[in-house]
């Protein structure tokens, strides 16, 4: 597959992200404009909850979905606060909720707390809306813990499992993605994968697409089952599609 073909696949599965601490209305307007690029559109934009309504105004009438984050980035354990935040985001128009798993609870062996959080949010995310559970694999580190977190999220009703918040020293890695894909395959459930954080080049995107093709079969990785969470890979994907030399990635995610 050529770089242009890989880039087209990646672009259409992109969750174009702005979770910078200093995000502005103007930045959201620019993000939504990129999301509607003729080479795409991308699958979704992923924004802070306070920008869901503005994103909805920008994207009205388009197929681009609006994702937002809850329990982000720390992965706390206050279920009622997180369900309140989720309900508010859904009321504002979010189509997808990216929930950070209480990964510290899981690390200390408190599986029940982590499962309760996912199940409580799952109960709210209905009517064709998606729940993506962020495992924070760079903090879990241990392959056995990553596998356990994957199974827990899938069993509790996740539509996608996602590697990372992009706010920790280690974000997506192929090793973690492989463990997650194996858990998805073993479950037999229609669950997707979202590698996120640190994906900046067409070659980076290709690593994850190739993993999905190898483990799940070619054709599995569509926007319904595969997303790339990134801000900085967009320009490189567009350059590859247009046959230009790769541009330097800008952005932190």
- Enzyme catalytic residues: 98, 162, 194
Neighbours of 210 (CB within 10 A): 15
Please state whether beta strands 96-100 and 228-230 pair in parallel, antiparallel, or not at all (unpaired): unpaired
Peptide bond preceding 117: is omega within 30 degrees of 0, i.e. cis? no
Interacting residues of 225 by C-beta distance below 8 A, sequence separation 6+: 190, 191, 192, 193, 216
HSE, side-chain direction, 13 A CA sphere, residue 176 = 26
Alpha carbons 114 and 230: distance in angstroms, whole number:
26
Alpha carbons 196 and 146: distance in angstroms, whole number:
15
CB 6 within 8 A of CB 206: yes
Tell me 1's DSSP state.
-
């Amino acid at each position: 597959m050529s770089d242009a073909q890989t880039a087209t696949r990646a672009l259409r599965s992109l969750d174009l992200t702005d979770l910078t601490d200093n995000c502005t209305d103007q930045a959201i307007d620019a993000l939504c404009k990129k999301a509607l690029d003729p080479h795409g559109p991308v699958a979704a934009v992923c924004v802070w909850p306070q920008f869901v309504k503005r994103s909805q105004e920008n994207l009205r009438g388009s197929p681009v979905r609006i994702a937002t984050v809850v329990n982000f980035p720390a992965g706390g354990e206050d279920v009622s606060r997180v369900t309140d935040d989720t309900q508010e985001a859904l009321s504002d128009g979010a189509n997808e909720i990216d929930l950070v798993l209480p990964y510290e609870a899981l690390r200390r062996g408190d599986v029940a707390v982590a499962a309760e959080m996912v199940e409580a949010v799952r109960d709210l995310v209905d009517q064709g809306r998606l729940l993506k559970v962020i495992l924070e694999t760079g903090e879990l580190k241990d392959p056995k813990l990553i596998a356990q977190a994957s199974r827990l999220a899938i069993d509790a009703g996740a539509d996608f499992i996602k590697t990372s918040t992009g706010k920790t020293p280690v974000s997506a890695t192929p090793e973690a993605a492989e463990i997650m894909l194996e858990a998805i395959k073993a479950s037999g459930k229609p669950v997707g994968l979202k590698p996120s954080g640190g994906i900046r080049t067409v070659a980076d995107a290709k690593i994850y697409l190739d993993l999905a093709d190898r483990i799940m079969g070619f054709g599995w990785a569509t926007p319904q089952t595969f997303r790339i969470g990134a801000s900085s890979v967009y320009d490189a994907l567009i350059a590859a599609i247009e046959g230009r030399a790769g541009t330097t990635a800008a952005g932190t995610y």
